[in-house]
Amino acid sequence: GAVVSQHPSRVICKSGTSVKIECRSLDFQATTMFWYRQFPKQSLMLMATSNEGSKATYEQGVEKDKFLINHASLTLSTLTVTSAHPEDSSFYICSAGVANEKLFFGSGTQLSVL
């Protein structure tokens, strides 16, 4: 099946720094990529929808200036957590697909902000 690579798998950073997470579709072109966040024992929550070449669409309550999403090509989307705070510590997962087809997920990034 299709492969989505997410990097890094784990990152620890100091409060106030920025962290970039990459999501790549390795063997297909993804017109749409999604970013999710999961707090412990909670369901995955959609943060934003990223379409190649256009601005991301953010879900209500997600700060677009804090969570910068770039989808510069059909195989790469990045999520940058700017000025990270401890409350941003979470598990972030990306998924990629082609309109209404089966979505494929990255392996996730565990972010810990000290």
Partner 1 sequence: KQEVTQIPAALSVPEGENLVLNCSFTDSAIYNLQWFRQDPGKGLTSLLLIQSSQREQTSGRLNASLDKSSGRSTLYIAASQPGDSATYLCAVTQGNALNFGKGTSLLVTP
| Site residues for partner 1 per CB under 8 A | 6, 32, 34, 36, 41-46, 49, 91, 93, 95, 97, 99-100, 102-108, 110
Instruction: Return phi, psi of residue 66, to 5°.
Output: -95, -40
**Minimum CB distance to partner 1 smaller for 2 or for 68:** 2
**Minimum CB distance to partner 1 smaller for 82 or for 89:** 89
Tokens 């999710």 appear where?
36
Q: Give me the least distance between CB of 83 and partner 1, in Å please.
A: 25
Per the CB < 8 A criterion, the answer to whether 105 and 94 are in contact is: yes
Q: How far apart are CA 7 and CA 97, in angstroms?
A: 18
